[in-house]
Structure 1
Amino acid sequence: MPEDVLQGWLQALLNGVVSGSLLALPALGFSAIFAVLRFPNFAVGALATAGAYAAWVVNARLGLPVGAGVAAAFLVAALVGVLLEAAALERLGRGGALMKAIGSLAMAMVLENALRFAFGNDLQAFDLPLARDMLLGPVRIGPQQINNFLVAIAVMAALWAFLALTPLGRSMRAVADNPDLARLKGVNPRRIALITVAAGAGLCGVGGTLIGLDTAIDPLLGGRVLLSVFAAAVLGGLGSIPGAVAGAFVIGIAEEFTVLALSPSYRMAVGFVVILAVLTVRPAGLLGSRAA
């Protein structure tokens, strides 16, 4: 194999792993909301954008560190997500999951245009120090890519610990498994639903911020990654937290390898080809549970 071809493959693999880690956070938010509320919330892309802008304001306009911006992204996106759920989407629940899904698309458009009105359409960059890329053998990686990857892994680990080790996390899993049985055990499903929306939306906000740190932000940031996030959640198994992570890495790597042979405009199409290939063999997704 020619050395330049091998180098291109290794570079695509590295970029795909980093890209997958960034996609994993909004995919986790999407899957968590689906697991508890049982509808696909397509506002996650707009929530990612809202979080990214909150982080940008804290960092670029207020002059605070990026870490403070990431925390602001989580809080702002969580608050907006809960407001959308309590003020609009919850009321649409009587019409079923399809009505709520359509409502979430409408809310995404409203939020996206509100951000466009507030911040304009121009690209905005974070206030980051200039740093040279590092060479790891034949591949190149930027310091910001490393930071983004480590933050994404830390957030995923914190989410796992929250779900596995805290009473609130166990209540969320109980509602996701069987809301009626959880109610009999004294768990308030509506309270858990709102907490889940807050956590899921917050994850989207952090994911949007990390994507913005890797490139730049504009009002369409979340819309550009929404299909990839949805593909990752479906591929891993809707409602499966580990599946969302696995699906995000598969989609991220597949999209990066696509660039080696095709135009970048085909990246998302290849993601859906991967979905079709996997779901043909395993309809429940990589880590989804089979229907009884």
Structure 2
Amino acid sequence: MPDSFLFGAILQALINGVISGTILAVPAIGFSAIFAVLNYPNFAIGALASVGAYGGLVANTVFGLPLEVSLLAAFATAAVAGIVVEWVAVRPLNQAGALMMAIASLAAAIVLENVIRFFWGNGLRGYDLPMLRDVQFGAIRVGPQQVKNFGISIAAMVALWAFLALTPLGRAMRAVADNADLARLRGVDPVRIAAVAVALGAGLAGMGGMLIGLDTSIDPLTGPRLVLSIFAAAVLGGLGSIPGAVVGALVIGMAEELTVLLIAPSYRSVVGFVVILAVLTVRPAGLFGARA
């Protein structure tokens, strides 16, 4: 009996980890896309996730829009905020180097977090969702909203792949990420591509923030609480690698859920620190990153 209970608990944690990791992959891809094109870690990604979550909240609860449309509103709100942050706070420090740009993005994240607090306070807020019973398979429980969020995350990743692989703008973005100087010689405008990368990355972060909020609730720290996990997923997969961000997010998601079986949930963020330290020590380039 204890063995079957332990097996059920591990299986439940793995299922939860795959679902949470797939959702985490959405903002992690956004983080990696920005890094691949602009070559600096945008630590405002967590605050942008919160901005998107609240943008979706307004669309859903104030204007009464369905969740699918509200997710597009979350994407658009975070994309606009991301471009503003890039052009106002980060780009003026372009000549100062990646470190100063990263610090500027961190400062912008604090500003965004407090703007959210100013308008919505610190309390928890929820979306207008129907009350649905969990689906149960023996000892395994899966929420219908979890399944829907999982499907939306997969659809977002497929749409991103199609954009990068099949559209001229997506191919130009990949060219800049591979070799900015060569892309410039081929007539690609790096400034326009940088704006596209920031809008896309920030929009994905906003969508990810709302997807997480749909399963629980949101507050101004919804996104900032994700920053370490997003960064750990990107580092594990290889900074700038979109497939790596997906794999890294799945590993982080499952590791965090399995860790809860051993220690208190409040310590699950330790997983991110351990992963970052291990990867930087053993393979600094990450699983899919190119060695310098």
Is TM (by shorter chain) over 0.5? Answer: yes
- Counterpart of 1:19? 20
For residue 136 of structure 2, give the secondary structure of its aligned residue in structure 1.
Answer: strand
Overall identity of the aligned pairs, in %: 64
State the AA in 2 paired with 1:237: G
Q: Distance in 2 between matches of 1:205 and 1:68?
A: 13
2:235–2:279 contact (8 Å) kept in structure 1: no
1:28–1:245 contact (8 Å) kept in structure 2: yes
State the AA in 1 paired with 2:95: R
Q: Distance in 1 between matches of 2:137 and 2:18?
A: 15
Could you state the TM-score of these two structures normalised by the residue count of structure 2?
A: 0.97
- Counterpart of 1:263? 264
- Counterpart of 1:214? 215
Q: Distance in 1 between matches of 2:124 and 2:267?
A: 23
Q: Distance in 1 between matches of 2:35 and 2:72?
A: 24
Note the alpha carbon deviations across 1:84-122, whole angstroms, 9 max, x for none.
111221101111111100000000000100010011111
Alpha-carbon RMSD: 1.1
**1:47-196 map, 5 Å:** 47-196=48-197
Shift of the alpha carbon at 1:284?
1.2
1:254–1:271 contact (8 Å) kept in structure 2: no
Q: Distance in 2 between matches of 1:80 and 1:136?
A: 42
For residue 40 of structure 1, give the secondary structure of its aligned residue in structure 2.
Answer: coil
Q: Distance in 2 between matches of 1:136 and 1:183?
A: 55
Q: Distance in 2 between matches of 1:202 and 1:186?
A: 26
Q: Distance in 2 between matches of 1:118 and 1:19?
A: 29
Q: Distance in 1 between matches of 2:168 and 2:116?
A: 36
Shift of the alpha carbon at 1:278?
4.2
Note the alpha carbon deviations across 1:54-110, whole angstroms, 9 max, x for none.
101111122111111101000110011011111221101111111100000000000
Note the alpha carbon deviations across 1:29-74, whole angstroms, 9 max, x for none.
1000000000000000000000000101111122111111101000
Shift of the alpha carbon at 1:265?
1.8
- Counterpart of 1:275? 276
Structure 1, unmatched stretches of 5+, are none
Structure 2, unmatched stretches of 5+, are none
Note the alpha carbon deviations across 1:104-148, whole angstroms, 9 max, x for none.
000000010001001111100001000000013431000000000
Q: Distance in 2 between matches of 1:69 and 1:108?
A: 23
Could you state the TM-score of these two structures normalised by the residue count of structure 1?
A: 0.97
For residue 88 of structure 1, give the secondary structure of its aligned residue in structure 2.
Answer: helix
Shift of the alpha carbon at 1:191?
0.6
- Counterpart of 1:46? 47
State the AA in 1 paired with 2:265: P
**1:223-262 map, 5 Å:** 223-262=224-263
Q: Distance in 1 between matches of 2:221 and 2:279?
A: 29
Deviates more, 1:207-216 or 1:260-269: 260-269
